[in-house]
Every structure is written in structure tokens, then in C-alpha cells.
Structure 1
Amino acid sequence: MTHPVRLILVATDLTARSDRAVDRALELGREWNADVHVVHAIERDAPTTALDVRRVLPGPGAKASVSLPSGPAPKAITDTARELNADLLVTGVARYNDLGDYLLGTAVDHVVRNAAAPVLVVKQRPHGPYQRLLVASDFSKGAKAALLAAAAMFPEARLHLVHAYHVPFESRIKSDDIRDIARSEAQQKLDALLAELPKELRGRIEPHLAAGEPGTVLDEVAGDVWPDLVVIGAHGVSGLVQAALGSVASSLLQRIAADTLVVKEG
């Protein structure tokens, strides 16, 4: 079966903080036999050359093409991804401040919100293929699309499907009946989703249902399964700050320590 990712675009600012993203992109390129394209945006009249970009690669023989578009980095990266029809866009983060904000600055934020292709945000140093995926799901169409996309990209990985359900009135009424009803409804939605999936894929999925706020539940499950990749779905593309990803997806992207794959619906 042909792998769904044939062209990987990875962004670099030529500093050490981008090395993890570049290394992961090259590793995925080897794993999937996919082409890797490295993009560095020239925002000013800097004398940057393709040779300068190749110096950030892990070795002189690394198989990758190079683009040096001019203009603001966020737009240059997403425009290049569209022009090349990239199947996956890989980027990194520099560090976090105490508020969980990203400091590649606005570049990562813009790329995740505006790229047409799935975006892999690399946070950890690569240590082999992704094997344990944590897939956040609200059982929406977008969440299902993210699950299917991740399953196709990583056909050997175990998929931990996590759903955080809400128990109504729990802050005011402590009722086992209400909690049981909420869990039963979540289980019904899970069963309906699994019934729609191919048998082979169902065999790779380990469901996790828990009451609580999505980020908290995801953290708890992550502490148990130690995922090397977290997958979240996002709804469409919009110019609105929160609407582009949705407040839940945006919050999860900030707080998750593992590499994170964001897949948009359609």
C-alpha cells in the first residue's frame, strides 16, 4: 500500500532549536521513502544560501531539497507548503515560557492555523519511530479524520484513543446515576465510532474514557502510556484566533510535552 505522505516540508530558522524538527523530518522521510524539502525564509536581505541550510542537516549526505523563499517566515512556510503540495509540514518550537506560549514566536502558531496539510510540531529529540500514539477524540467528524490520518501515517503504531466526557451538574450534585449515564453515553459514542472502522484498525486501538476536562484527562492517560506522539483534530481554517483550531485544540497544543500532530478536517 502506498504511504499517504510522499512529500515532507520541514521549516528551519538555522538555529539549534530547529534541529529536532529537521532530524525528525529526515527520519520520517527514510521510514516512508518520502521526499524531504527544507524551507528557510529570508525575511531581510541576508546572504543565506542553500549551503547554509545544508549545514543544519545531520550529515552532508542527507537527502533533502532546499527552498529559500523571501518574506515573513510564517507566510513563506505555509505558501511554500501549498506550492509544493506537501503532504506533511514539520516544524519545531524553541521553548516555552511559564504561560505555555510558543517562542518560535508567531511562526508555529501561524503554520498550525493556516497550513492545509497536517502539521507535526516536534518538541522532543527523535529516538526512533513513533510507536505509541495518543489520539484525542470528541467523536466529531474532525476527530475521526485525525484518527484515520494518523493510523494511515503510522501503520505499525498502537493507538490510544482518549475521550474526556462531561458529567453535568457534578459541581453541585454528587450522583452516581448521573455519572453512570454520562459514561454510558460516552461508551455508546465510542462503540458507534469503532463499528465504523475496519476490523484491522479496531485491533490497534485501546480506548480510554474518563470524566473531566480534556487537557487533564489527556495528561493522566499520557502519564500511564508514555506516548511519543499526540494527535489532535482541528476544525477547518478561519482568520479568527481561536476558531482556526478551536479553543480545546489550541489549549492542548500548548500544554502537551510530546510531539503533536494536528490534522484538520477537510
Structure 2
Amino acid sequence: MNIDGPVLVATDLSARSDRAIDRALSLGAAWGKPVEVIHVVDPGEARQDHDALEAAVRAVLPDPAADVRILLPEGSAPAKIAEAGQGAALIVTGVARTHSLGDYFLGTAVDYVVRHADTPVLVVKQRPHAPYARLLIASDLSDCSRAALITAVRLFPAAHVRLVHAYHVPYEAWLDSEEGHTQLLCEVERDVAQFLSHPDISTALRGRIEIDLRFGSTDGAIRRSLAEDRPDLVVLGTHGKSALAHAVIGRTAEALLSWVPVDTLMVRATR
């Protein structure tokens, strides 16, 4: 992650990209970072005049004269966006609601961008009205989810932080055992404490984190916490050691993005 890099936002020139553009411009202004707007030109289309393409991109900005850099590479949209995002502080995009040639941030395209860019990817679903105030960090207690936590807090240092961790009863015989469940919960609490004791997590940050332990599936834990806490940003680490990684990468990416009602930040673990 290049924290000194620009904010990169992708647009397909449709109205569905407006929210992502608005959020990217807001973040760029708040962070004092330049904003780059990328529109990938389909090589199969008739070649257009560069000035006309740049004018078309500027026409979808709130202020066409905004001080932004316009990028117009030609080729595969996911590949070009991931390539351009390598030097960015953040890649920002929207989620398409219908299936068309422009829906390149669904399914395998999300997979591609997250896997190939060492840059957090912010998927914007809500119209931005204010800075992010409440973060829901879904964690499987892996190194990658710790990196997601640290990255999110670095990007949004003033936000409230809730760490959600789902746990399961390992043996069927414990399902009806209160003693077994209590013992398991104690073990989970120790695991969470160890997770947060990492030297990369400061004492100050540790004191800010609200811990939310949920019995059941990761999917169910996220749903319940969303309903109760009403966060405005969900944060997910990818390449984790549990099902949390598979909720983001691969064939279920589209399903996740379809039901999570708020903006989602995806942070890929770097090697």
C-alpha cells in the first residue's frame, strides 16, 4: 500500500459510477491527495479522439473543471485498473446493478483487481454524505485480517472500530453443553486478545476497538452486526485462513457485494 499515492477511481461513464466518484473526490480532499479518474477503453470499439474521451469523463464529474488526472488506457478493464492502482493509496469503484459489458466489478473482476493490486479496494454503494464514522471489521484472526484492521484505521483514523469475529462449536456433543460453550468462548476471547497483542497494533488502537464475538457463521455474524450497529463501512481482509477469504475472493464475490448494503473495503494481504 502506497499511503502517499493518489486516490484512483474507476468509471464506465454511467450514472452508477457517480457515488464512487463523489466518494473518491471527498477522500482526496480530506487526505490532501490527488485524484485520478480511470476509464478503460474497449479495444473492440471504434477508436475515438482522446480529447473527446477526456471530455466525456469530465462530463460525469460533479465539476468538469475539477483538478483531477484523467487516465484512458485501452484494454481489459480489470487488468488496466489493477495496473494503474499499483501506485495508488486506494482504488475506488462502484457496483453495477445489472449485467452488461460494463459490469467489470462483479464476480471474477473483483477477484482480479483485489488479487493483482497491492492496494485496498473500496466498493461504494451508498451516496456519500459524511466521512466514514463506524467501521465493521470482519476478522478470522488471521494475519491478513489484522492487516485489514490496521489499514482501515490508518485510512479512517477518526472512525469507531468494531471487530466482529464468528466462532463455532467444534463438536456436536458440545451443542447442548453450556459448560462446553463457556469454555469455548473463553478460548476464543484468549485468541482475540492474542490477535490484538501484535506489536503492529498500538495500545491506543487496542483501547478503541469494540470486540463483537458472534456464535455461528461469518456470513451470519456480519448480517447481525450490520443490523445492530449500522456501520457505514465494512472491512474485509482477503487471503485469510478461513471462509472469510472465500467470501470475498472468487465466485461468491458477487453475492457478497449484492447483499452488503454499505460500502465495503477489501484489503489484500501482501506477501
TM-score (norm 1): 0.87
Question: Residue 261 in 1 paired to residue 265 in 2?
Answer: yes
Give the Cα–Cα distance (whole angstroms) in 1 for the partners of residues 205 and 3 of structure 2: 16
Find the partner of 1:87 among 86, 89, 101: 89
Do the aligned residues in 1 keep the contact of 2:239 with 2:268 (CA within 8 Å)?
Answer: yes
1:191 Cα offset (Å):
1.4
Task: Please tell me whether residue 248 in structure 1 is matched to residue 254 in structure 2.
Answer: no
Which residue does 1:193 correspond to in 2? 195
What is the RMSD computed on CA atoms of the aligned residues? Answer: 2.3
Gaps of 5+ in 2: none
For residue 237 of structure 2, the aligned residue among 233, 236, 259 is: 233
Matched residues in 1 for 2:16 and 2:10: separation? Answer: 11
Which residue of the partner structure matches residue 115 of structure 2? 113
Aligned partner of 2:149 in structure 1 is 147
* Structure 1 residues 34-73: aligned runs within 5 Å: 34-43=33-42, 44-47=45-48, 48-73=52-77
Corresponding residue SS for 1:4: coil
Q: Are the counterparts in 1 of residues 115 and 268 from structure 2 also a CA contact under 8 Å?
A: no
Contact in 2 for aligned 1:91/1:108 (Cα 8 Å): no
Structure 2 counterpart SS, 1:246: helix
Distance 1:231 1:86 in 2: 18
Alpha-carbon offset, residue 134 of structure 1: 0.1
Deviation at 1:256, TM superposition (A): 1.6
Call closer, same or farther: CA 1:57–1:229 in 2, change over 3 Å.
same
- What's the CA shift for 1:115? 2.0
Q: Cα distance 1:104–1:143, how it changes in 2: closer, same or farther (>3 A)? A: closer
2:77–2:104 Cα contact (<8 Å) kept: no
Query: How many angstroms apart in 2 are the aligned matches of 1:160 and 1:145?
Result: 15
Q: Matched residue of 2:114: which SS?
A: helix
How many corresponding residue pairs? 251
Q: SS in structure 2 opposite 1:230?
A: strand
Match of 1:207 among 203, 211, 222: 211
Q: Which moved more, 1:107-116 or 1:24-33?
A: 107-116
Aligned partner of 2:3 in structure 1 is 4
C-alpha distance after superposition, 1:36-63 (max 9, x if no partner) = 1000011023425211111111113422
CA change 1:258–1:5 in 2 (3 A) is: farther
User: How far 1:104 moved relative to its partner?
Assistant: 4.6
Distance 1:37 1:143 in 2: 28
The aligned residue for residue 21 of structure 2 is: 22
Which has the higher mean CA deviation after the structures are superposed, 247-256 or 28-37? Answer: 247-256
Distance, in Å, in 2 between the alignment partners of 1:96 and 1:215 is: 24
Determine what percentage of the aligned residue pairs are the same residue: 45
By how many angstroms is 1:154 displaced?
A: 0.5
Q: Deviations over 1:53-109 (max 9, x none)?
A: 111111134221100000121112112223xx1121111101168xxxx77555444
SS in 2 for 1:203: helix
